[in-house]
């Protein structure tokens, strides 16, 4: 063949070329199937594949033969074997050698199915072998992410290159290439979507699993477990994180008589809470919250055969959350959580409201609502279970901090009278160490607090001691209505303040606590009142009482002891009238009389 040849590779034209030069350029081109050639005797451009004469063997020399060509350069047909030079379908697709339709639809559809199957197999295998374990979860997520990213990049590059080749061929033929441009636009959208998905879901999840697996889940507090009362009770305190259920299971194995578990937690991992729930349920444990149980902690709490809440303790609820979780996965997680609450017949409307609360918020139902919904089966008065809520390994410091944090009065006492506070904290701590109940620990500290309070009350400011008189009026009245003997015994210190306080309405207890805090804050050494002035004031009060109908016998009852029940009721009634008369006086007259009353208690 003596024609002069021309070659077009989609970007530029070469020629005129001899047949040998043409062959050399074709052989060196990475995608020879996309090249177009022509010579003067042709009616138009043709692809290399449509021009087999280019690679036809030259005529044999006269009377001789040529050595057969190497099978590395030609195929059985005498033409170059494209498969030898182009590699397998993975590389051919990567270079964009397949048609746009095949690249976009066939590889896109079948490749997507293949990757989904691989991901499913990875997850099924790891879940079956490890269950809920952060390390396998991390490696599963990382491997899945690697497979998806590798396939997506491979597909996007292949489609982009195939679309480019398609556009070049159609341009050479003088045609437009709308589908190629649409495919490239969709490819760009695919790149954007991949980046968004990585930033919004995949990478946050991978980071979370890494923190759980290799950093001890630093966002969640450490947990601790304390065994109390010779192995009959145990407290779980701190965050609910991976490993807690396994640790508690070992405690159960070592403590066959354990039947109560105390929970003090702000929450943590839902899956670990579910493991605790199954563990508690299998052992028919009683669950008890001494102070607070939030979020995932409530799932573990729900397993209790009895579910007890301390009087001032709190249960708080909200829905689950996890970085990068999809809406469908979130709904599935909520549905799974609901089953744990329904197992103990908790009201469905309550469950729906609890888990519909956004994760960033907390729903705070009251005790009455918790009882109606069967979330709790009872409220503890502090006498049944060991004192807890100070952490898994309470120290005197942690108990002291808890007392100061729980009562503003003790916080003020710690600041102004640290030695007095330490005596109270030591008594409370010893009770906690001995496994005594909350009531017993409070009673032990109350025995230390009562004489301190009695010493400080007369030293408080005038307005404080007068307000104290008003609180005592309401306090004695409430106790007298319940049982007169309780009021009388409380006045004379024959029952502890703790026992009497249990019988008082909460508003009165709150007022009393507020007054005690003011007493501590304002107490100071004060000069004694003039006895003559005080005597004159007592005569004034006596006259007012008689004017209101009090008899001499009524007033004489204050000097008597060992009264009968009827007399005790009369005593408290007259004491309330006496206090009322005193606090109604001008402040400069009421204050010294109240100090005398306080001192005489």
CA dist., res. 558 & res. 538, Å (int): 13
Q: What is the pLDDT of residue 82?
A: 47
Q: What is the pLDDT of residue 118?
A: 67
Give the three-class secondary structure for 551: coil
DSSP 424-455: HHHHHHHHHHTT-BHHHHHHHHHHHHHHHHHH
Instruction: Write the CB contacts of 519 (distance below 8 Å, at least 6 apart in sequence).
Output: 453, 456, 457, 460, 464, 468
Q: What is the pLDDT of residue 125?
A: 53
Q: What is the pLDDT of residue 159?
A: 84
- Regions of the chain short of the pLDDT cut 50: 1, 63-86, 128-130
Give the three-class secondary structure for 46: strand
Cα distance between the two ends of the chain: 130
CA dist., res. 370 & res. 157, Å (int): 58
The domain ranges of the chain are 5-63+71-86, 100-214, 223-380, 460-600
Q: What is the pLDDT of residue 71?
A: 40
DSSP 44: S
DSSP 222-257: -EEEEEETTTTEEEEEE-B-TTHHHHHHHHHHH-TT
Spell 351-386 as b/e; 16+ CB within 10 A means b.
Answer: beebbeeeeeebbebebeebeebebbbeebebeebb
pTM: 0.69
CA dist., res. 431 & res. 413, Å (int): 20
Residue 28 β-bridge partners: none
- CATH class of the domain defined by 223-380: alpha beta
């Amino acid at each position: 063949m003596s024609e002069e040849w021309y070659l077009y590779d989609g970007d530029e034209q070469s020629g005129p070329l001899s047949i040998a030069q043409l062959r050399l350029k074709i052989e060196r081109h990475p995608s020879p199937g996309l090249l177009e050639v022509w010579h003067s005797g042709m009616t138009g451009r043709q692809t290399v594949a449509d021009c087999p004469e280019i690679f036809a063997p030259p005529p044999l020399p006269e009377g001789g033969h040529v050595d057969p060509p190497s099978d590395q350069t030609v195929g059985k047909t005498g033409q170059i074997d494209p498969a030898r030079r182009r590699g397998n379908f993975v590389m051919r697709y990567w270079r964009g050698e397949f048609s746009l339709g095949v690249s976009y639809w066939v590889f896109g559809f079948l490749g997507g199915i293949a990757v989904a199957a691989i991901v499913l197999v990875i997850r099924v295998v790891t879940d079956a072998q490890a269950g809920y374990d952060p390390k396998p979860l991390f490696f599963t997520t990382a491997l899945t992410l690697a497979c998806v990213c590798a396939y997506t990049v491979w597909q996007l590059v292949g489609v982009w290159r195939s679309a480019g080749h398609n556009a070049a061929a159609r341009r050479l033929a003088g045609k437009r290439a709308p589908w190629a441009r649409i495919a490239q636009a969709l490819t760009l959208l695919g790149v954007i979507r991949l980046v968004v998905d990585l930033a919004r879901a995949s990478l946050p999840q991978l980071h979370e699993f890494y923190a759980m697996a290799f950093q001890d889940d630093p966002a969640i507090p450490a947990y601790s477990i304390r065994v109390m009362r010779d192995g009959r009770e145990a407290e779980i305190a701190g965050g609910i994180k991976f490993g807690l259920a396994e640790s508690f299971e070992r405690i159960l194995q070592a403590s066959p008589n354990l039947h109560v578990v105390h929970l003090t937690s702000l929450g943590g991992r839902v899956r670990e809470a579910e493991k605790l729930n199954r563990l508690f349920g299998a052992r028919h444990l009683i669950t008890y919250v001494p102070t607070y149980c939030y979020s995932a902690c409530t799932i573990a709490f729900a397993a209790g055969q009895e579910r007890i809440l301390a009087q001032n303790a709190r249960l708080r609820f909200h829905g689950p959350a996890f970085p990068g979780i999809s809406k469908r996965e979130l709904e599935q997680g909520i549905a799974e959580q609901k089953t744990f609450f329904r197992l103990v017949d908790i009201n469905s409307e309550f469950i729906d409201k609890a888990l519909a609360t956004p994760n960033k918020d907390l729903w705070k139902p009251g005790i009455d609502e918790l009882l109606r919904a069967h979330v709790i089966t009872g409220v503890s008065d502090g006498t049944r279970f060991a004192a807890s809520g100070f952490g898994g390994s309470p120290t005197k410091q942690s108990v002291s901090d808890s007392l100061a944090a729980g009562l503003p009065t003790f916080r003020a006492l710690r600041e102004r009278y640290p030695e007095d506070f330490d005596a109270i904290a030591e008594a409370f701590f010893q009770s906690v160490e001995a496994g005594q109940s909350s009531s017993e620990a409070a009673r032990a500290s109350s025995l230390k607090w009562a004489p301190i309070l009695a010493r400080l009350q007369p030293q408080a400011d005038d307005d404080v001691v007068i307000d104290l008189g008003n609180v005592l009026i309401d306090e004695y009245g409430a106790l007298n209505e319940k049982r007169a003997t309780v009021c009388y015994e409380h006045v004379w210190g024959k029952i502890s303040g703790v026992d009497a306080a249990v019988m008082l309405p909460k508003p009165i207890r709150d007022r009393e606590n507020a007054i005690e805090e003011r007493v501590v804050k304002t107490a100071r050494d004060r000069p004694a009142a003039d006895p003559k002035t005080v005597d004159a004031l007592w005569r004034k009060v006596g006259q007012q009482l008689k004017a209101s109908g009090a008899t001499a016998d009524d007033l004489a009852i204050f000097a008597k002891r060992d009264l009968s029940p009827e007399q005790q009721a009369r005593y408290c009634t007259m004491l309330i009238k006496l206090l009322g008369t005193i606090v109604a006086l001008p402040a400069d007259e009421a204050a010294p009389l109240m100090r005398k009353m306080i001192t005489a208690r």
